[in-house]
Amino acid sequence: MANYQKLSINQLSFTYQHDRVPVLNDLTVSVPLDHIIGIIGNHHAGKTTLCRVLAGIVPHIIAGNLVGSCQLGDQSPVQDWPAYNQQTGFVLQDPHSQLSGLADTVADEIAFDLLNHGVEETAIQQRVAAVAAQLQLTAQLQQSPDSLSGGQLQRLAIATAIVTRPTVLILDDPTSEMDPQGRSDFFNWLKTVTHTTIVIVSNEIDELCEIADELWVLEKGHLVSHGTPLQVMNHLSPKWQVATPTIYQLASLMNWPLATKPTLFPVNFNQLRRCVNVNHSN
């Protein structure tokens, strides 16, 4: 596969300014574009820093020493900034810091970047309405952002990131303040997003295993595992302290391996259903 069709990281290390120890250490990995990539790992694994590198936040806004290369398609977040920044949506851990603070209503906040880009008013109204509907914010469009709940604020932050139609969407723990139904709705929506490379940091292992094309496991700044959720979850090391999905735990307990790969246990619903059907037919 040609390099312009991939997200490629090659021998990437990063150390924050005034620090001595790298937060990311010699990462090398490659995955096709338009995939959903889940990043998992324990605290201080380097997940947020990797998101910042992919978004171009470091070293352009947050200083430090970056070694190695990162390429998304035909552009680099380092060499091609700020053109790269124009096609990237980045959702921060704290939704408050995502917002402009200048908008009186949710609708104005969603429209803020479009106004700055000179998008025509009718198009702005159409895009704001469409994004609000996708993220279940239609009823809140005329409310003040300050009146929203934590989960609604996170959905608003996501709306501001996707309204410009980025080709790369980077989400750093975007559901931490959502209730269970809100998280379920969000991940179901994420599956419908097309023509976008999505990188998501999340502790929601069950949901990630349902939607992700690939998982990357970080541990103390090292990329210790990567591959499909099925591959990664079946070969976890206990020292990484990464949780396994509920479906994997159930299948292991019941000894329901995949019929086609008898050394592996299912990690999502479709895989489990096939295992149950096979075991019930025997």
Domain boundaries, the chain: 3-244, 245-282
pLDDT per residue rounded down to tens, the chain (282 residues):
456 689 999 999 999 999 999 999 999 999 999 999 999 999 899 999 999 999 999 999 999 999 999 999 989 998 998 889 889 999 998 998 889 989 999 999 999 999 988 999 999 999 999 999 999 999 999 999 999 999 999 999 999 999 999 999 999 999 999 999 999 999 999 999 999 999 999 999 999 999 999 999 999 999 999 999 999 999 999 999 999 999 999 999 999 999 889 999 999 999 999 887 665 555
d(CA 145, CA 165): 22
d(CA 67, CA 56): 14
Domain 3-244 class in CATH: alpha beta
- The answer to whether residues 189 and 26 touch, using CB atoms and an 8 Å cutoff, is no
Q: Which of 202, 213, 172, 166 is nearest to 35 (CA)?
A: 213
Q: Global pTM?
A: 0.94
- The answer to whether residues 28 and 7 touch, using CB atoms and an 8 Å cutoff, is no
Q: Which of 86, 29, 34 is nearest to 55 (CA)?
A: 86
